[in-house]
Amino acid sequence: MKILKFTGKGFGWALLYIILIGWAAFSLLPYLWSFTSSFKDLTQIFHYPPQFLPTNFNLLNYINLFTKVFFARWMINSLALAITTTILVVLFCSMAGYAFAKFNFPFKNTLFTFMLGSLMIPFQLIMTPLYIEMNQLKWLNSYWALVVPWIAPAFGIFLMRQFMLSLPTELLDAARMDGCSEFRIYWQVVLPLARPALGTLAIYEFMNSWNSFLWPLMVLRDLKLYTLPLGLATMLGDVQTGVVDYGQIMAGAFLAALPMVVLFLFMQRQFIAGLTLGSVKG
């Protein structure tokens, strides 16, 4: 009976792994197709029946990507914006989360409730008044409009607050008794302990800034100021006449997705730890 029970359990786990591996392979197929197609010309891309691997590897798509369009400039723009926004978001959200978690001040619960309520407001509802505000500030067609409105998102404050509730208050009181200022406690005690949550927030915000499309489309006008998603959209050309270099677009899409994959592979442990440890207390 024990052998049959063990065999049945082993068969169940094997079936589960087969299903998960199959689903993962199915999910990765579009990315693998994009990668292999970046080395094909248009004839091979539209060949029927489809050819997964190119018959002749061709680097012309990558060469044209950096010589005929502003792809390098777009990538630098996206990278600079994502890094700047991520640093500011992590700084301000961690400060606000620390204040909501460990300090008592007037209207604390009311402010936190209103902040959480703002998560229910869709971006489509606020983008028009926000655009008018950016216009009045003369920030259209500038990176100020892409950074300043998003440096303290409600989700980031909520995440940091939930994590910092789990930090022992006795440790902070001991630091105060040793003569530490509040900012020194935040910088040298709280932030090192909150690294899992900081890593989670950094990954989330970097991906959000890197993939942002609608808001940059509204505020940017100069082609050289475009971010990578906007630049890739301009490469579609005239779809109605069929003048689209799909091989070049495949190469650009692959290079655009590569930083996100590398970032997650290097920080996946902190990302998972932040998601689990941040919900210890509510």
Distance CA 6, CA 268 (A): 33
Nearest Cα to Cα of residue 195 among 278, 111, 89: 278
- Whether the CB-CB separation of 77 and 227 falls below 8 Å is answered with yes
Please state the domain extents for the chain.
60-277
Distance CA 204, CA 155 (A): 10
Helices (H), the chain: 2-37, 42-45, 60-67, 71-102, 108-117, 123-136, 144-147, 154-164, 169-177, 182-185, 191-193, 195-211, 214-219, 228-234, 246-277
Q: pTM for the full model? A: 0.82
Q: How many CB atoms are closer than 10 A to CB 224?
A: 10
> Residue length, the chain?
282
- Whether the CB-CB separation of 92 and 155 falls below 8 Å is answered with no
Distance CA 97, CA 99 (A): 5
CATH top-level class of 60-277: mainly alpha
**Residue holding tokens 């961690």?**
94
Q: What is the DSSP string of 28-73?
A: HHHHHHHHHHTTS-HHHHT-SS--SS-SS---HHHHHHHHTS-HHH
pLDDT 10s per residue in the chain (282 long)?
A: 444 444 556 777 888 889 989 888 888 888 888 888 888 887 788 777 877 788 878 888 888 888 888 899 999 999 999 999 999 999 999 999 999 999 999 999 999 999 999 989 899 899 999 999 999 999 999 999 999 999 999 999 999 999 899 888 899 989 999 888 889 999 999 999 998 889 889 988 998 999 999 999 999 999 899 999 999 888 876 545 556 788 888 888 888 888 888 877 777 776 666 555 544 444
In this prediction, residue 271 carries a pLDDT of: 63
Cα distances (Å, whole numbers) of residue 88 to 10, 64, 147, 251, 264: 49, 35, 9, 31, 20
**Residue holding tokens 């926000």?**
130
Question: For residue 238, what is the DSSP state?
Answer: B
In this prediction, residue 179 carries a pLDDT of: 87
Nearest Cα to Cα of residue 233 among 135, 242, 244: 244
Query: φ and ψ at 212, to 5 degrees?
Result: -60, 135
